[in-house]
Structure 1
Amino acid sequence: MPKTMSQALQKNLLGNSPGWYKLTIIGFLVFNPILLATAGPFITGWVLIGEFIFTLAMALKCYPLPAGGLLAIEAVALGMTSPDTVYKETLHNFPVILLLMFMVAGIYFMKDMLQYVFTKILTKIKSKVVISLLFCFAGAFLSAFLDALTVTAVIIAVAYGFYGIYHRFASTGKCTITDDSLLKGDCVDHLAEFRGFLRNLLMHGAVGTALGGVCTIVGEPQNLLIGHVMEWHFMEFFLKVAPVSMPVLAVGLLTCLMLEVTGIFGYGFQLPQNVREILEEEARKNDEEMSLKKKAALFTQACAAVFLILALALHLAEVGLIGLAIIVALTALNGITEEHQIGHAFEEALPFTALLVVFFAIVAVIHDQHLFAPIIHYVLALEGKVQLAAYYLANGVLSMISDNVFVATVYISETLKAFQEGIIDRQQFDLLAVAINTGTNIPSVATPNGQAAFLFLLTSAIAPLIRLSYGEMVKLAFPYTVTMSITGLAAVWYFL
């Protein structure tokens, strides 16, 4: 216990995080002003990006919001960006914030139906390869019409439900899964295998959201932006991007198959037989004990899911507002009327929403200090297929570091300016727009900060339970990154 106020303050700083982590963050905060004064804002800006990525990589040691937030506040205080720029960047991404606030909460009220459906799938399908392909394809198909964050929220809810079932079983005294040191015998092996199984499914599903998200104008926020600038409607967008997106989709699914067959890069974990029996027993028990009230609730949730898909596919309203409609409908029709019951639905997404705004502050630094300007000017100076390939690669690499929506915004704006000034013709402008879209969507699966859906998964409640760290995500995404990025580059070169 601390004996002085100074010791108490030191103990409180970043809570139970390791001492070395606390010292590292303090070191960053002390080093940045010195670097700014000596090396200037450009170099300091790139160092700040590296420091923020470090906080993401250490998410299991400390949630990135406190440490990353301190870095963002310091950047504003040092004048590397302004509160107004941060606000504008946040306002620009308000649809994403609205989505996180309400859509993820809406999925929470559908979790019983989702768990029921996916439990049936898991207990009926014995092959891990088939299940993996199903998760990857489902993620791709749904993300082509829905938002990737919405689809990821569904996948997380399903995985959390499965983990909860096993947790209840383990807590009966047969084994304890909340503390690995208490595990003995088969429990250790079963838990490690089960965690690996869930990690595999979540990553297959998350990669699937990128595979499908690139295909349509509604798949990702930057797709809407690019489609608006290019004046492409739904089918025109799909057809323009198809020469790249379809080969990448095929290779992505083949990669999923290859990873599960070979078991390389941390894949190939199987659902332990005892866990399968637990899930089957839970399913039988739920079926036998299901009351009419429960059946009515599941039916209502299923109807809400159909409405959700149709509303999102037809864009009846902004995604977050559709999520709010789902919340209102399900709470009203299923009798969830107490404030504390409703409040639980928002616990998962709001910390990530706050983290995302901190991330936008880092993006504001990138914007104000023109950190990407040298790369943009270089690729704009190229011509023909070399320019297309450079666009794809530049957007891909920058999207691994920064927000892919921001990268796409910068590139499409600069390219539009070049077209208006007569530097490029309309045909090249169309091809460059496709290169921007595919570049920001495909290689960005390499890191959690490249895709908002990946970052959401990394910072979700399920991640520490299944030991899904930043490094583990990068490792699991690596084979997908290589095969999909190379395929995308080849398609840009040969098919555009």
Structure 2
Amino acid sequence: METAFTRALIKNFLGQSPDWYKITVLAFLIINPLVFFLVSPFLAGWLLVVEFIFTLGMALKCYPLQPGGLLAIEAVMIGMTSADRIREEISANMEVILLLIFMVAGIYFMKQLLLTVFTKLLLNLRNKIALSLAFCFAAAFLSAFLDALTVIAVVISVSVGFYTIYHNVASNKSEFDDLNDDTSFTGSQQHQAILEQFRAFLRSLMMHAGVGTALGGVMTMVGEPQNLIIAKAAGWQFTDFLIRMSPVSVPVFICGFIVCALVERFRLFGYGAPLPQPVFDVLKAFDQKNSENKTRQEQLRLVVQAVIGVWLIAALAFHLAEVGLIGLSVIIFATAFCGITDEHAIGKAFQDSLPFTALLTVFFAIVAVIVEQHLFSPIIHFVLQAAPSNQLSLFYLFNGLLSSVSDNVFVGTVYINEARSALQSGAIDLKQFEMLAVAINTGTNLPSVATPNGQAAFLFLLTSALAPLIRLSYGRMVWMALPYTVVMTLVGLLCVQYLLPDMTQWYTDMGWLSLPPANEVIRVH
């Protein structure tokens, strides 16, 4: 009886995850209190951070919310942090949470327009290099205004749509059948080869789009979740943030597109696979059928969604409201003028964003541990002891290193808080603080493309339903991101060290930037 009960308990714990993963998580939960009470709270804190990074890396084995959440709850129970500290972190980052809840859901109701745009790109650009550049640019442009998570959610929906259409037509299955079931293709090596080439094609487009979200997301305060946190700490608005980032973001943007063209041209790092002709024929026929059957009502919905898109960009550019509230307005406009009034239909829009929002809240619990145990203090003190001219590159490199193996949201949060503390204590002046904020933002955004841990958009892609369909694993993402990682990191470092100070001074002399009194920044924040 006890044996059967134990087996049932083990099967229920973390569901379908491998047994070795379950044992590893249980070992973490046993070891952490022992290290905290018997060895060192500081060491236990770093051990928790490494364990949490491990759960992110194993996202395909188990969604990180459950094992990461257990680690966070244990941290509170043994005293590594407190529920009040976590509440303070969540309250301080409420704008980011509202962005994820409402903006991603809002774009769900504009998906018809975005699907149409990406479908036309795919069918009208037969040159793979041009198509890759177009996907990368579209993702970058949209990420500058819509948040990278929102954009990657759209591109995922597009790719799942493409894959579903071909898979169901080629295997004679209905739309409700399992897309991971390839048994219908095993009898034909030709069909299996076409499917594998199509997967490689979609993988390359998804990676280009993912990197595009980083290239565009670094530019504006709404591009990535941590951008909002950094902008709020520095007291910047949308246009001010855009201008301050440009000495780094623009050169990196250009070099990123050069990398995109080169890896496609020479078929490096898993890129270069063209769209198979049979797949193109299926997608083309499907698009023609949809266009012929499109009603006046559906055409009007596209027009309405385009108008809402203009409103969205204008509202963000002029900062008419908090980002999350603008996303809520998109939901209201899109549902009201597109005839969506059913509660369940509206609820579907939140399915993609809420699990990740819950995971981000767990991130903030880990941030609370980092703050409570002063885990980053030695690194911060080392950087601040350097000469002011070297602080920028050191902040950039340390942010990039930590962001590439952990999450850029809590790395950016901790570093900007430490930089603001240095400003408050008089260790740095306001001008240096604002340039450090640029170094922190670019450091968390650019080198972090190295792994899915660092880029929220990459993690969202890795944990999506698309990743197993196109065989996009953690290791494959790291390999395909490598050329982008090297180029973006090095170009960003050179710009932070040599271009940022001169351009910031030039912008200030031109009257494009203003430095408010330091005591005002401290008072507000």
Q: TM-score range by the shorter chain?
A: over 0.9
How far has the Cα of 1:268 moved from its partner? 1.7
Instruction: Provide the residue aligned with 1:186 in structure 2.
Output: 190
Matches within 5 A, 1:208-219: 208-219=212-223
**How many equivalent residue pairs?**
496
Checking the alignment, whether the CA contact within 8 Å between 1:177 and 1:183 is kept in structure 2 is no
Matches within 5 A, 1:402-441: 402-419=406-423, 421-425=425-429, 427-441=431-445
330, 347, 351: which is aligned to 1:347? 351
Instruction: Provide the residue aligned with 1:164 in structure 2.
Output: 164
How far has the Cα of 1:133 moved from its partner? 0.9
* 1:317 alignment partner AA: A
What is the TM-score of this pair, normalised by structure 2?
0.87
Checking the alignment, whether the CA contact within 8 Å between 1:214 and 1:245 is kept in structure 2 is yes
CA distance in 2, matches of 1:133, 1:352: 28
Instruction: Provide the residue aligned with 1:36 in structure 2.
Output: 36
Please state if 1:378 is matched with 2:409. Answer: no
1:411–1:100: structure 2 CA closer, same or farther, 3 Å change rule?
A: closer
CA distance in 2, matches of 1:298, 1:427: 46
Q: What is the CA deviation profile of residues 431-463 of structure 1, one whole-angstrom value per residue up to 9, with x for unaligned ones?
A: 333322222221122222322222222222222
How far has the Cα of 1:399 moved from its partner? 2.2
Instruction: Provide the residue aligned with 1:207 in structure 2.
Output: 211
How far has the Cα of 1:485 moved from its partner? 0.4
How far has the Cα of 1:27 moved from its partner? 1.7
1:355–1:217: structure 2 CA closer, same or farther, 3 Å change rule?
A: closer
Instruction: Provide the residue aligned with 2:517 in structure 1.
Output: none
Instruction: Provide the residue aligned with 1:81 in structure 2.
Output: 81
Q: What is the CA deviation profile of residues 326-379 of structure 1, one whole-angstrom value per residue up to 9, with x for unaligned ones?
A: 222222323223232222222222111111112221222111111111110000
SS of residue paired to 2:17: coil
CA distance in 2, matches of 1:4, 1:90: 41
CA distance in 2, matches of 1:369, 1:465: 41
Instruction: Provide the residue aligned with 2:51 in structure 1.
Output: 51
Q: What is the CA deviation profile of residues 145-192 of structure 1, one whole-angstrom value per residue up to 9, with x for unaligned ones?
A: 332222222222222222232233234259985323542222222222
CA distance in 1, matches of 2:163, 2:82: 43
Instruction: Provide the residue aligned with 2:127 in structure 1.
Output: 127
CA distance in 1, matches of 2:456, 2:50: 18
What is the TM-score of this pair, normalised by structure 1?
0.92
271, 295, 302: which is aligned to 1:267? 271
SS of residue paired to 2:339: coil
Matches within 5 A, 1:73-472: 73-172=73-172, 177-184=179-186, 185-230=189-234, 234-419=238-423, 421-425=425-429, 427-472=431-476
Q: Which moved more, 1:214-223 or 1:98-107?
A: 214-223
* 2:353 alignment partner AA: A
CA distance in 2, matches of 1:466, 1:241: 35
CA distance in 2, matches of 1:491, 1:248: 9
Checking the alignment, whether the CA contact within 8 Å between 1:392 and 1:438 is kept in structure 2 is yes
Checking the alignment, whether the CA contact within 8 Å between 2:383 and 2:391 is kept in structure 1 is yes
Instruction: Provide the residue aligned with 2:521 in structure 1.
Output: none
* 2:295 alignment partner AA: S
Q: Show structure 2 runs of 5+ residues with no match.
A: 502-525
SS of residue paired to 1:4: helix
SS of residue paired to 1:129: helix
* 2:29 alignment partner AA: L
How far has the Cα of 1:426 moved from its partner? 5.0
How far has the Cα of 1:251 moved from its partner? 1.1
Checking the alignment, whether the CA contact within 8 Å between 1:65 and 1:358 is kept in structure 2 is yes
Checking the alignment, whether the CA contact within 8 Å between 2:171 and 2:185 is kept in structure 1 is no
Please state if 1:8 is matched with 2:8. Answer: yes
Task: Output the aligned Cα RMSD.
Answer: 2.5
CA distance in 1, matches of 2:413, 2:125: 43
1:401–1:369: structure 2 CA closer, same or farther, 3 Å change rule?
A: farther
Checking the alignment, whether the CA contact within 8 Å between 1:139 and 1:206 is kept in structure 2 is yes
* 1:159 alignment partner AA: S
CA distance in 1, matches of 2:172, 2:448: 43
CA distance in 2, matches of 1:95, 1:252: 29
